[in-house]
């Protein structure tokens, strides 16, 4: 039984608790709704009865009907890096930009006409800032919140000083801290924590910030594919944001708990766009490039990390926009971004 927007009548949780206690059948009820329930003091405790799952947008392999395949992280940690293949129809750079700006929300991902998609997304953002945010925090200013979200969007996939953001949005620090919490509570933005290891010194502790829905970059910044292609900085941020958006559902689908981080030395000399770590301490490291013909020099941060942490390094991937995968160095491969959804094992 699916109960949507259950938090509007939170007392319903009491009935569900009694039903679960009477007949303990896992999966009998699916409760979906907004995060407002997290803030309600009157909400019934459901400890031991409810499993909380994060539902991200539709990734490409879901849209292609391959949602039952093993997690991308499971395959890499199991040593299948050499077996990862790209689909024959892998997009080129403009194709990746189009997919990223199309978005992952179901009404966007199912590809309505571009004009409908644009109007739908603009309406969605208005609703998000005016209604959904009000349900979680009735004291916020929607105009200032939009400015702050726009500043965050312009800095997506980057490590940025907090003051830069609230100065750009013309809001105070206290309001900015409140907006950060609100936007993360609504799963609109994410702060990716910095990775730490006893094997490395002088690692940055600053988080990397992301907008979770890539299509909002186009809507909030007022750009299309041509504008993105003309702006190298924005292009890099969009591709990085898109790849991470495809990997978040892979974390949820992984058979073993996997956590995502980023890595950067305080000096900025070395950094990895993404680090995936498992409970056994093994890690995967990722670089993301809007480049169709990467070379070994583009993977210098991955080779550096491999040398620093040795056997803890399970593998490194340099994602690129070219058509084919190839080996760059020991445990390090260059993979087209489309490998995230294409040419899965035949057994699946």
Measured CA to CA in angstroms, residue 185 lies from 54, 147, 266 at distances of: 12, 18, 29
Confidence at residue 136, expressed as pLDDT on a 0 to 100 scale: 61
> Are 32 and 67 in the same domain?
no
Give the tens place of pLDDT for each residue, 229-264.
Answer: 999 999 999 999 999 999 999 999 999 899 999 999
Residue 200, both tokens: 């490395």
Residue 347 has pLDDT above 50, yes or no: no
> Are 27 and 72 in the same domain?
no
Residue 108, both tokens: 């966007």
Confidence at residue 348, expressed as pLDDT on a 0 to 100 scale: 39
Is 346 within the bounds of a domain? no
> Are 93 and 15 in the same domain?
no
Q: For a pLDDT cut of 70, what percent of the chain falls above it?
A: 93
Average pLDDT, the chain: 90
DSSP string of 82-117, one letter each residue: GG----TT---HHHHHHHHHH-SSHHHHT---HHHH
> Are 28 and 151 in the same domain?
no
Confidence at residue 38, expressed as pLDDT on a 0 to 100 scale: 60
Is 55 within the bounds of a domain? no
Cα–Cα distance measured from residue 29 to residue 50, given in angstroms and rounded to the nearest whole number? 9
> Are 145 and 256 in the same domain?
yes
Confidence at residue 60, expressed as pLDDT on a 0 to 100 scale: 94
Average pLDDT of the segment spanning 302-327: 97
> Are 113 and 21 in the same domain?
no
> Are 33 and 100 in the same domain?
no
Residue 80, both tokens: 């299948």
Model's pTM, two decimal places?
0.92
Is 49 within the bounds of a domain? no
More reliable by pLDDT, 9 or 337: 337
Is 348 within the bounds of a domain? no
> Are 33 and 128 in the same domain?
no
How many domains is the chain partitioned into structurally? 2
Give the tens place of pLDDT for each residue, 137-157.
Answer: 666 788 999 999 999 999 999
Is 102 within the bounds of a domain? yes
> Are 114 and 25 in the same domain?
no
Residues 6+ apart with CB under 8 A from 272: 262, 263, 264, 285, 286, 287, 301, 302, 305
> Are 163 and 293 in the same domain?
yes
Confidence at residue 11, expressed as pLDDT on a 0 to 100 scale: 81
Residue 43 has pLDDT above 70, yes or no: no
> Are 121 and 179 in the same domain?
yes
Cα–Cα distance measured from residue 270 to residue 238, given in angstroms and rounded to the nearest whole number? 21
Name residue 263's beta-bridge partners: 272
Is 347 within the bounds of a domain? no
Is 54 within the bounds of a domain? no
More reliable by pLDDT, 211 or 24: 211
Q: How many CA atoms lie within 13 A of 156 on its CB side?
A: 30
> Are 106 and 159 in the same domain?
yes
Is residue 264 within 8 A of residue 255, CB to CB? The reply is: no
Strands (E), 267-325: 271-278, 283-288, 313-320
Per-residue pLDDT band at 36 (split at 50, 70, 90): low
Q: For a pLDDT cut of 90, what percent of the chain falls above it?
A: 67
Least confident among 30-34, 54-58, 77-81:
30-34
Domain encompassing residue 14:
2-39
DSSP state of 195: P
Is 25 within the bounds of a domain? yes
């Amino acid at each position: 039984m699916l109960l949507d927007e259950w938090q509007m009548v939170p007392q319903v949780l009491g009935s569900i608790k009694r039903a679960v206690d009477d007949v303990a059948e896992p999966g009998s009820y699916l409760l979906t709704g907004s995060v407002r329930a997290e803030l309600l003091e009157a909400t019934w405790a459901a400890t031991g009865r409810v499993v909380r799952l994060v539902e991200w947008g539709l990734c490409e392999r879901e849209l292609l009907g391959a949602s039952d395949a093993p997690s991308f992280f499971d395959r890499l940690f199991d040593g299948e890096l050499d077996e990862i293949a790209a689909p024959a129809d892998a997009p080129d750079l403009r194709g990746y930009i189009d997919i990223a700006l199309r978005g992952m929300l179901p009404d966007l991902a199912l590809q309505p006409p571009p004009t409908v998609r644009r109007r739908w997304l603009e309406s969605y953002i208005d609703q998000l800032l005016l209604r959904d945010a009000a349900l979680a925090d009735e004291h916020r200013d929607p105009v200032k919140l939009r400015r702050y979200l726009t500043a965050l969007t312009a800095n997506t996939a980057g490590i940025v000083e907090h003051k830069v953001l609230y100065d750009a949005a013309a809001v105070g620090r206290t309001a900015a801290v409140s907006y950060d919490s609100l936007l993360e509570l609504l799963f609109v933005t994410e702060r990716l924590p910095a990775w730490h290891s006893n094997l490395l010194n002088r690692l940055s502790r600053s988080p990397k910030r992301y907008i979770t829905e890539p299509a909002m970059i186009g809507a909030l910044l007022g750009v299309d594919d041509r504008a993105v292609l003309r702006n190298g900085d924005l292009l890099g941020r969009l591709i990085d944001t898109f790849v991470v958006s495809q990997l978040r559902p892979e974390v949820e689908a992984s058979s073993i708990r996997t956590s995502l981080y980023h890595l950067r030395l305080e000096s900025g000399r070395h950094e990895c766009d993404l680090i995936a770590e498992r409970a056994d301490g093994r890690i995967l490291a990722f670089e993301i490039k809007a480049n169709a013909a990467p070379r070994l020099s583009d993977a210098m941060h991955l080779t550096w990390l491999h040398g620093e942490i040795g056997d803890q390094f399970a593998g490194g991937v340099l994602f690129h926009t070219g058509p084919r995968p190839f080996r760059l160095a020991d445990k390090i491969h260059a993979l087209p971004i489309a490998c995230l959804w294409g040419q899965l094992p035949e057994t699946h």
